[in-house]
Amino acid sequence: MGFRIGWFIDSGYSPAGWASVYAPRDYGDWGNPRRYVELARACERSALDFLLLADTTFVPNRHGGSMSAYLRHAICAPMGDPAVIATRMLAATERIGVVVTLNTSEYEPETLARLVAGMADLGDDRAGWNVVTGFADRAMRNYGKEGLGQHDRRYDIAEEYVSRAEGVWASSGRPRPIIAQAGASPRGRDFAARHADLIVCNAATPETMKEYRDDIQRLLRIHGRGPDDCKVMFLTIPFVGETEEQAQRMYRARHDLASADPEADIAIMSLNNDVDFSIFDPDVPMGQYADRVETAGTRGLLAYIMNVAKERTLREMVASRAMYEVVGTPTTVADRMEALIDEVGGDGFIFNSDYLDQQIVESVLCGLVPELQRRGLVPDAYPAAGRRMPLTPS
C-alpha cells in the first residue's frame, strides 16, 4: 500500500540545535530564511508532498509560572513568522506544498482568508492553512483577549470562522486552499472531519493510531464525506543511520539527554497542555495525579498522558516521547513504515524532529526516502500536471 510524506517544521533551525556537531558554522543566523528555502528545495528534490510550518506568538510562562525554562532552552523563542517564511519557500519552489499554521484567535477571518489566498496565488495553489484555535491563555492576552475561552466553544467559533473565510475565497473566485487540522479531542476530531483535507495525528502506538483513524472515518461518513476526501497522516520522529548501531546511538543520545535533564521537555508538556507539570515529582507515575490535572488546552495530548501513559513518570515520558518513533537503517525503517500502514491504515507520515541539522535532513531525504521510492511506496517524481495529493481540497 502506498502512502504520502510530509515534514513538520516546529523548532526548525533554532538555538536548540546549535550544540549539534552537524550544525553549520553560521547556525547563529537563525532568522535568515535561506535555510528554510534550502530545506524546501531539498524536500522538493525528494518529491515530498508538503512542508507544515508551526507557529507560536508568545514566550510561555506555564512551567513554574516563569519564562525562564523557555528562554533557557530556546522554546518558542526566537521564532519567525511562518507566513513570511512560507512565502519565501513557495517563491523558491515549483511543486511542493507549504501549509502554514494560523490561529483563528489571532486574525479576523477576512484578513486570514486574504493572506492564505495571496500565498496560494504566489505558489500556484500550493499553499495551505493549518487551522488551530489556540492552546494558551498567555498568547491570547497578546491580542487583547482575556484568555482562551472554553475548549468546545473555541471550535464553535472556528466553524463560523472557516465559513466566513470560505465566503471570501468564493466571492473572489479563488479555489479553496488546502485545510489541515490536528483535532484530538472529540470536538476537535469532529471539526477536522467536517472541514479538513489533511489531518495530522499525533499518536505513539499502532493501537492509538488505528483508533484515531477509524474514528475519523466514522465522522467523515456522518458528515457525508468519502474515505478519500480527507487524508490522515501520522507524526513520526525518524532516527535513521547507515547501520542499526548508528541509529540506536542517535536514539539513545536523544533519550538519555531527555532523561538526565528533563526540564525542557517537561516545560514543553506544560505549554502544550496548559498544565504546570513543574509541581509534580518527575519520578512518580502520572496516574497518581489524575484528579489534579485539568486543562483548557490540548486535550488529546493530555488524555494520552493521563490514560495511556498513566503508569509512567514524567521523566520516562519525556525520554520516550508521546509520538511515534522509527529507529534503524533505511531498509528496516521502511519495513516498519510499510507494515504500520498495512496494519493501521492511514495515508502517510509527517516527519518531525526537535531541531534540524544536516544529519537529520540527509538521513531522511538521502537515505530513507529513496528506499521508500525504490519499493514504490511513495512517488519518486511529481505528476506531470495538476496538484499533488494530499493537497487537493475535496
Residue 349 has pLDDT above 60, yes or no: yes
What's the CA gap between 167 and 146, in Å, rounded?
28
End-to-end Cα, the chain, rounded Å: 22
Domain covering 4-243+325-374, topology:
TIM Barrel (3.20.20)
Residue 283 buriedness (CB in 10 A; 0-12 / 13-18 / 19+): exposed
Name the residue ranges covered by the structural domains of the chain. 4-243+325-374, 256-315
pLDDT per residue over 107-129, tens digit each? 999 999 999 999 999 999 999 99
- Residues 68-95 have a mean pLDDT of 91
pLDDT at 227: 92
pLDDT per residue over 179-225, tens digit each? 999 998 999 999 999 999 999 999 989 999 999 999 999 999 999 99
Half-sphere exposure of 173 (CA within 13 A, CB side): 0
Q: Is the peptide bond before 390 cis (omega within 30 degrees of 0)?
A: yes
Q: How far is CA 278 from the centre of its chain?
A: 24
Could you say which DSSP state residue 304 is in?
I
What's the CA gap between 95 and 125, in Å, rounded?
10
pLDDT at 311: 80
pLDDT per residue over 275-325, tens digit each? 888 998 999 887 787 766 665 555 555 665 656 567 888 888 877 767 899
The answer to whether 39 touches 51, Cβ cutoff 8 Å, is yes
pLDDT per residue over 235-261, tens digit each? 999 999 999 999 999 999 888 877 888
The x, y and z cell numbers of residue 369, run together, are: 526516502
The answer to whether 247 touches 240, Cβ cutoff 8 Å, is yes
Residue 35 has pLDDT above 70, yes or no: yes
More confidently predicted of 368 and 149? 368
pLDDT per residue over 23-34, tens digit each? 766 666 777 788
What type of residue is 292? R
- Residues 172-179 have a mean pLDDT of 93
The predicted model scores a pTM of 0.91
